Amino acid sequence: MQATRARGASAPEIVVHDQTTAELAHYKLARLGADDQDGYHRVACPAVMGKLRCPRRPASMALSHERPKVLCPPEHVPTCCRQKTLTVPVSVNAKTAQKYDYPSAAWRASYARRTAVERSFSTIKDPASNDISRGWCRLMG
């Protein structure tokens, strides 16, 4: 899967991309709370949180068959399979601290607001379109 969709992608390509990124959310480590005072936070295995079924977590196999299943668990048991929770350090927080997952439709909608705000600010600051220098408005009263 491509991390980002191509510029000028057709509507069916966008739908497929959004479905794929929504599916990826099932495999993401689940955040358990807010950052502590040092910026660290805890995450748990998606199977422990009930997002998917995994043979390494027998309790998760009792979940509905509509949940995604890890078909080929890795040979080397990852840390998230050996422990209940993991601590995520501050250095990793930049990407994981976002409200929405990076390539998702919700992320794109949220990020689109930024371009509108930046465009508005640049218009306000441009003396050719608006002049907000000292004395541009008069206060009465």
DSSP codes, 101-123: -TTSHHHHHHHHHHHHHHHHHHH
Point out which residues pair with 113 in neighbouring strands: none
What number is the average pLDDT over the span 69-74?
89
User: What is residue 113's predicted lDDT score, i.e. its pLDDT?
Assistant: 83
User: What is residue 65's predicted lDDT score, i.e. its pLDDT?
Assistant: 92
Domain spans, the chain: 27-93
How much is the pTM?
A: 0.62
Query: What DSSP character marks residue 31?
Result: E
pLDDT at residue 32 greater than cutoff 80: yes
CA angle 139, 140, 141 (to 5 degrees): 130
| Contact by Cβ (8 Å): 18, 105 | yes
User: What is residue 1's predicted lDDT score, i.e. its pLDDT?
Assistant: 47
Helices (H) and strands (E) in the chain, counts: 4, 3
User: What is residue 61's predicted lDDT score, i.e. its pLDDT?
Assistant: 93
Q: 113 vs 3, 110, 117, CA distance in Å? A: 21, 6, 6
Point out which residues pair with 87 in neighbouring strands: 42
Point out which residues pair with 44 in neighbouring strands: 30, 85
What number is the average pLDDT over the span 76-102?
82
User: What is residue 96's predicted lDDT score, i.e. its pLDDT?
Assistant: 64
**Model confidence pLDDT, tens digit, residues 43-71:** 999 999 999 999 999 999 999 999 999 99
**Model confidence pLDDT, tens digit, residues 90-113:** 887 666 667 888 788 888 888 888
Query: Average model confidence (pLDDT) for the chain?
Result: 83
